Structure 1
Amino acid sequence: MLELILFLAALVALWALSRRMMGFGAQQPAHYADTGPAFDLRKHLNGPILCEGIIYGPLGRVDSRFIAQMNGSWEGARGSLKEDFTYSTGKTQHREWHLALGNDGNFSATADDIEGTATGVQSGSTVRMNYRIRLPEDAGGHVLSVTDWMYLMDNGAIMNRSEMRKYGIKVAELVATMRPAND
Structure 2
Amino acid sequence: MNRRKLLLGSVGTVVGAAALSGCASPSVDDYANERPLLDLRQYFNGTVDAWGVFTDRNGKVVKRFTVVMNCQWQGDSGVLDEDFVYADGTRDKRIWRLQHLGNGAYSGTAGDVVGTAQGQTRGNSFRWGYTLALPVDGQVWNVQMDDWMYLMTPQVMLNKARMTKWGIHLGDVTLSFQRRA
Category of TM-score, reference length = shorter chain = 0.7 to 0.9
In structure 2, C-alpha distance between the alignment counterparts of 1:107 and 1:155, rounded to whole Å = 20
Alignment of 1:161 onto 2:160: yes
Single out whichever of 112-121 and 172-181 deviates more from structure 2.
172-181
CA distance, structure 2, for counterparts of residue 133 and residue 170 of structure 1: 14
Q: Residue by residue, what CA displacement relative to the aligned partner does 1:127-154 show, whole Å, maximum 9, x if unpaired?
A: 0000000012546411100011000012
Partner residue in 2 for 1:79: 78
**Does residue 1:113 correspond to 2:104, yes or no?**
no
1:21 is aligned to: 22
TM-score by length of 1: 0.85
Amino acid at match of 1:175: T
Cα offset, 1:58, TM superposition: 2.4
Could you say what the CA RMSD is over the residues aligned between the two structures, in angstroms? 2.4
How far the C-alpha of 1:88 sits from its partner, in A, is 0.9
Q: Alignment length, in residue pairs?
A: 171
CA change 1:14–1:146 in 2 (3 A) is: farther
Per-residue deviation, 1:155: 4.6
2: CA distance between counterparts of 1:21 and 1:92?
41
1:90 corresponding residue in structure 2: 89
Residue by residue over 1:10-36, the C-alpha shift from the partner in whole angstroms, topping out at 9 and shown as x without a partner, is 8xx959x64x633xx611011001111
Give the structure 2 partner of residue 179 of structure 1. 178
Structure 2 distance, partners of 1:43, 1:138, is 38
CA 1:169/1:154 → structure 2, altered by over 3 Å: closer, same or farther?
A: same
> Hey, what does 2:148 align to over in structure 1?
149
1:123 equivalent in alignment to 2:138: no
Note the residue ranges of structure 1 that are not aligned, 5 or more in a row: 1-6
Instruction: Give the 3-state SS of the residue equivalent to 1:172 in structure 2.
Output: strand
Structure with the larger strand share: 2
2: CA distance, partners of 1:43 / 1:145? 27
- SS of alignment partner, residue 31 of structure 1: helix
Match of 1:4 in 2: none
Separation of aligned partners in 1, 2:65 and 2:75: 31
SS of the residue 2:30 aligns to: helix
Amino acid in the other structure paired with 2:56:
G
Which position in structure 2 is the counterpart of 1:62?
61
With 116-125 and 25-34 compared, the bigger mean Cα shift is at 25-34
Kindly indicate whether the alpha-carbon contact (under 8 Å) linking 2:36 and 2:154 is maintained by their aligned counterparts in 1: no
* Stretches of structure 2 lacking an aligned partner (at least 5 in a row): 1-8
Identical columns (%): 32
Distance in 2 of aligned mates of 1:73 and 1:177: 20
Large movers: runs of 4+ above 2 Å: 136-140
CA distance in 1, matches of 2:156, 2:75: 23
Letter in structure 2 aligned against 1:35: E
